Amino acid sequence: MTNPSRREFLSQAGWWTLVGLGGAPAFSMLVSSCATTMTVTSKISTTIGVKTGAIDETKADAIQQNVAEAAKSFKDFTPEQEYYIGRAVAATILSQYSPYLEPDPNLYLNLLAQTLAQFSELPETFNGYHVLTLDSDEINAFSAPGGLIFVSRGMIRCCEHEDALAAVLAHEIGHVQYKHGLQAIRKSRITLAITTLAIKGVKGLGSEKLARLTETFEGSILDITSTLINSGYSRGFEKQADKAALDILDRTGYNPRGLVDMLNVMKKKLKPGGLDFAKTHPSPYWRIATLREYMAGYPKVEKKKARQDRFLKALEGV
């Protein structure tokens, strides 16, 4: 018997009903439109085009020297622009990973993330926070600017309770809140996007201007996705996101130790040389060590029955 809250959820997100309960045809149609997981570097370089970035860089540098306007930074992107950047980053991630379209885990993750976001420093983004599970055994999670978040099945399996899963999402919300994604964009591209092309071309962009602006856009998306998928953020950014996670967990009413619990499982599961968090994040050992000073005073995570039951039920089969 479907409980009332779940039914409400499903009718609200009619599409999930279609995908999850509407039978195999819809499901396979959606999945087949996405490539299965593959080596990321090659795909991105070819789809977006590294040479685009190089051209922009030269152009941008030249323009930068001639422009008398004040230097612009990632902070000058409006939430609206951040939204379009985030959608393109998310679309790129989905060209590398298949979504896992079971409704229960996805609905649960969205409920959890949107709850946590209300206790972050950035509860409101242009079009809100949304989460999608990736059908991958890798231990991975990404957040696109503006709040589109992806969590792999492998990552979910590192979580033994809701407080741990909340920590994964809170860490991603932390990256969104601090605009770490936007900070991965080369400064020259930002100048090009914000001061020069964009302002002059705001109304009725000519096709040439639109093409140039789109090249800058592609370059910016490449900057972000190659950071997310290949090189990873700096340790400083990761520490900041971990600290934000503790903050968000504590304010929401979760035990910040959920993050350490997750990292303790992750350190056992991560495979050296893997293309996931093994490559893009500081080691769980380092993260646990840097979090230690904040953990004093927090007891072990207590698995409350109702919370643990719903966690296990929603993620059954993941």
Cβ closest to other proteins, residue 221 vs residue 278: 221
The type of residue at 36 is T
Interacting residues with other proteins between 209 and 248 (CB under 8 A)? 210-211, 213-214, 217-218, 220-221, 246-247
Is the separation of the CB atoms in 85 and 29 below 8 Å? no
Q: DSSP assignment, residue 158?
A: T
Q: Kindly give, in sequence order, each residue whose CB lies less than 8 Å from that of residue 193, ignoring residues fewer than 6 positions away.
A: 77, 81, 213, 216, 217, 220
Residue 182 engages other proteins in binding (rule: CB under 8 A): no
CA 189 to chain centroid, in Å, comes to 22
Among 105, 125, 219, 240, contact with other proteins (rule: CB under 8 A): 125
Q: Could you give the count of Cα atoms lying within 13 Å of 26 in the half-sphere of its Cβ? A: 11
How distant is the alpha carbon of residue 220 from its chain centre?
Answer: 16
How far apart are CB 296 and other proteins at their closest, in Å?
Answer: 6
Dist. CA 276–CA 140, nearest whole Å:
5
Shortest Cβ 14–other proteins spacing (Å): 8
Chain residues 37-96 in contact with other proteins, contact rule CB under 8 A: 47-48, 69, 77-81, 84-85, 87-88, 90-92, 94-95
Q: Which is nearer to other proteins, 77 or 278 (CB)?
A: 77
* Out of 26, 55, 63, 122, the residue judged to bind other proteins by CB under 8 A: 122
Q: Which of residues 275-314 bind other proteins (CB under 8 A)?
A: 293-294, 296-299, 304, 306-307, 310
**Contact call for residue 110 and other proteins (CB under 8 A):** yes
